[in-house]
Structure formats: structure tokens, C-alpha cells
Amino acid sequence: MSWIEIKESALKHNISTISDRSPLDKIFAVLKDNAYGHGLFEFGSLCAKYGIKNAIVRDLDEALAVVGIFENILCLAETKNFNNTQNIHYAVNSLRMLKNLQSGTKIHLKVDTGMHRNGIDATDLYEALEYASLNNIEICGVFSHLRSADELSSESFWQEKNFLAVKKSVLEFCAVRGVKAPIFHLQNSAGLFRSGSLDGFDMARVGIALYGYMDMPSAVGSPKLKPVLSLWGNKIASRSISKGKSVGYGGIGKIDVDSVISVYDIGYADGFLRVKADADYLLPNGARLVGRVSMDNICVESAEESICVFDDAEALARRYNTISYEIITRLSPKIKRVIV
């Protein structure tokens, strides 16, 4: 069967690089969506091993899978299932959601500072704080999200200014009411590396940099990170095919010279995108993928028993005119993850 290798030394390097910008106890490891396709439990366990104490996941199911590994876990997109387990917190994106929560729920209140996707409007901040205070809903954190920290623009500074105004209002409310102030977090991977520090906030949410990818403008500079994941396939069968014949659906896989073609157990059902028919894809060892990607397999000019399909999602993303996130998060959770 096909498998995914998680390179421990690469993750250790990335965490070390991140620690140059922030203490690791001030970092949320963003592990949502099966740790960006890397395997939630496997990758999360390694993050904890190398000093990261807090995590962000998508929903309660993911939180429960790693509840014993991290000190605090924030569910970023849970909307229905809430569990008042001591160290599980929930991101709240609207007054409506806030008012559906039970007493005792621990939350991080998200405020829209300019991305206009999720989060309450700043004009609703006092109402949210008041409601939480009166209904014993503990606001453990207040946060927002940068929309263009990885682009060469001044928008991040504009959003930071907006968030600092939010922080000021929250601290004033807490002082008047005599309640504990929450933590504040704004920076994502790009924001942390762009500023070089926490920049006065309490924590940062680091996702894509953990996995080894950061596509930053040259004027800003990109850190030297190492991709952690590689996708591997096992050979199903081999055959010799003579020059002039073709392989796969539509016969687009043309054979230019007599070749050995092998079939490997990876396909688009496993999350490997169909390679464009108008150009050849070369695997990391230089072998050519021939013809269209099928649901459960690919054909390659190779006789090897196993083969690395890709080990750099950024390079593959450029081929598809997409981003590394899409390449890695598509990988099926059914594929075995192996730490090497």
C-alpha cells in the first residue's frame, strides 16, 4: 500500500527556526484538517516532543484525538458540538454563536479587523464581552486574522492597528469589571516571520511554517524551512511497452522509446491531483509519469518497487497554479503516515 513519510529531522529544524522568533510556549501549532494532511496524532505528537505546548484544530473530534498531548487546544471551526473539558477552547465568530453556548464554556473571541470573513464586528465587541461576563462564559483569548501578511503591502500594519484598538477596549472592560484579561493573538506564520517576534502580542498561530513552506516576497525574505512530508507508492505491476504505443485513459501517455512502465498504487482518490495532460511530470528521482492519473494508480517509466511521488508540495503547486496547502491537505487520511 502507498504511504506518507513524515521526516522528523525536518520538523525539528522548522520548530527550531520558529523558536528564533518566539518562545515555543507562546506558539499554537495549527494542526487543523489532519495536520494539513500530515496526520493529526503523528504530527501533533512530534510537535509536543519538541516543545510546543498548545494546538489549534478544526473541530471537537480533532481536539479529542490530541487532548492528552497539549496543555490547551483551540477548536477553530466547531459550530455544534461543545465539550467543557478543561483544556478545550472554542473560537467564537459571531454573537449568534456566543449566545448558543452554555455556562462554563471557554472561548477565544474572534474580531474582524479587515479580512471580512469570520469574526464579530468591532462595534459588537462590548455586547459580546458583556454577554460572556453575565453568562459565565470565559473569554480565554481574543484574536483576529491577517489577510495579506505574505504579500508586499502595508495591510498587515493597518490590521494590527485595528487589533490594538480592540485589545485596548477589552483590557479596559476587564479592568472595570475586575475580570481576568484574556491572551491576544494575531500573527500567523507569515506575520511571525515578517515581524521577527511576537510584536507585543501573547501568542502566535503557526501553521504552514511547521510543515516546511513559506512563500514570502523576496523583499521580505523567506526563512529556510524544510518540507516534512513525502508521498510514496508501491508497485502493482510492470510491463515492457514499445515505442509508438500509448498508456492510460485517452491514450495521451505517448511512449517515445521502448520502455518499462510500472503501475503504482496512488491516484486521485488518494488526493494526488490529476497531472496536466499537456506536460510531463517528473518524479523526484527523475522518472516520468506517463498518461493521466487514474482513480487508484499512476503509470511511471520506472521498474522500482516503490517510488517517491513528491517530496516538495511547493514545486508541485507551481505546476498546478495553486498553493502548497491544497496539495498536502487533499491527501487521504486512509494513507498510512510513517515517521522517519
Decide: 118 and 112 in contact? Cβ < 8 Å.
yes
Give me the catalytic one of 249, 254, 320, 336.
249
Give me the catalytic one of 32, 106, 110, 167.
32
53 is catalytic: no
Three cell numbers, residue 282: 517528473
Helix (H, G, I), strand (E, B) or coil at 334: coil
DSSP letter (8 states) at residue 295: S
Helix (H, G, I), strand (E, B) or coil at 232: strand
32 is catalytic: yes
Please report where in the chains the cell 506517463 appears, as a residue. 290
- Amino acid code (one letter) for 218: S
Residues shown for the chain: 340
What is the CA angle 81-86-91, rounded to 5? 50
Roughly what angle, to the nearest 10 degrees, separates helices 155-177 and 125-134?
40
Rounded to an integer, what distance in angstroms lies between the CA atom of residue 159 and that of residue 144? 9
DSSP letter (8 states) at residue 224: -
What is the CA angle 84-87-93, rounded to 5? 70
Rounded to an integer, what distance in angstroms lies between the CA atom of residue 289 and that of residue 254? 11
- Amino acid code (one letter) for 173: F
Alpha helices in 2-112 (DSSP H): 8-19, 32-36, 40-49, 60-65, 95-98
CB atoms within 10 A of CB 240: 9
Rounded to an integer, what distance in angstroms lies between the CA atom of residue 196 and that of residue 179? 32
Active site residues: 32, 249
